[in-house]
Amino acid sequence: MIRLTVNGEPHRLDIDPEMPLLWALRDHLHLTATKFGCGRAHCGACTVHIDGEAVRACAMRVGDARDQTITTIEGVSGDVAEAVQDAWQKRDVVQCGYCQSGQIMSAISLLGSTRKPTDADIDAAMDGNICRCGTYVRIRQAIHDAAKALA
């Protein structure tokens, strides 16, 4: 039995501890906004927060997530999350939207630790978050906007 705390809620799952966290979230807890992209932690579509840090859920075993706080896009809240979500809407970042939950989770993690990010900070934090629609310029602008709103 695996015990997880996801979005503030305790869960007990009778699953293999070797299962990727992504599949536990999507298939067993029905939190489907965290997306499967590549399965190798290269695209960022599956990004969640583990104890506040951006982590690729496809590459983390569910057994390794025990005793940690897991937050998915469905559970983000607070001033940083609101600033990022607002900036995303104002900049009309989303095109197809598939990668956006991972992009937003990475941006929230960045702004949670770096309130005035430089372009280099943004590039480093967002590295590995692939957007096949190419909305990178709007993503960077939205992160800068969210940082200004938080100042």
Q: What is the pLDDT of residues 80-120, one digit of tens each?
A: 999 999 999 999 999 999 999 999 999 999 999 999 999 99
Fold observed for domain 79-150: DNA polymerase; domain 1 (1.10.150)
Identify the helix (H) or strand (E) that includes residue 53.
Answer: strand 53-56
CA pair distance 99, 118, nearest whole angstrom: 22
Average confidence (pLDDT) over 140-149:
98
* Strand-pair partners of 70: 6, 50
> How confident is the model at residue 83, as a pLDDT?
98
What separation in angstroms does the CA of 145 have from each of 116, 123, 139?
10, 15, 10
> How confident is the model at residue 102, as a pLDDT?
97
2-75: CATH, from 3.40.120.10, 3.30.70.20, 3.10.20.30, 3.40.50.720 = 3.10.20.30
> How confident is the model at residue 69, as a pLDDT?
94
Q: Where are the domains of the chain?
A: 2-75, 79-150
CA pair distance 93, 100, nearest whole angstrom: 9
DSSP string covering 86-123: HHHHHTT--SS-TTHHHHHHHHHHHHHH-SS--HHHHH
> How confident is the model at residue 67, as a pLDDT?
86
> How confident is the model at residue 92, as a pLDDT?
96
CA pair distance 151, 146, nearest whole angstrom: 9
Average confidence (pLDDT) over 28-48:
96
Dihedral angle computed from the Cα positions of residues 98, 99, 101 and 104, in that order, rounded to the nearest 10 degrees: -140
Residue 14 banded pLDDT, cuts 50, 70, 90: very high
> How confident is the model at residue 37, as a pLDDT?
94
Residue 28 has pLDDT above 90, yes or no: yes
pLDDT digits (tens, 9 = 90+) for 59-87: 999 999 998 999 999 999 999 999 999 99
